[in-house]
């Protein structure tokens, strides 16, 4: 349930 790899949130 999370963006894998890079985080799309700052």
Partner 1 sequence: MNVFRLAGDVSHLVAIIILLVKIWRSKSCAGISGKSQVLFALVFTTRYLDLFTVFISAYNTIMKVVFLAMSYATVYLIYMRFRNMYDSENDTFRVEFLLVPVIGLSFLENYAFTPLEILWTFSIFLEAVAIMPQLFMITKTGEAESITTHYLFFLGLYRALYIANWVWRYHTEEFFDQIAVVSGVVQTIFYCDFFYLYVTRVLRGKAKMILP
Number of residues binding to partner 1, judged by CB under 8 A: 9
**Least Cβ distance, residue 3 to partner 1 (angstroms):** 8
Question: Which region, left, alpha or beta, applies to residue 8 given φ > 0 means left and ψ of -120 to 50 means alpha?
Answer: alpha
Instruction: Considering only CA atoms, give the Rg of the chain.
Output: 6
**Least Cβ distance, residue 4 to partner 1 (angstroms):** 9
Residues of this chain, 1-10, that bind partner 1 according to CB under 8 A: 1-3, 5-10
Residue with token string 């894998």: 4
Q: Which chain residues interact with partner 1 by CB under 8 A?
A: 1-3, 5-10
């Amino acid at each position: 349930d999370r963006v894998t790899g890079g985080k799309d949130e700052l």
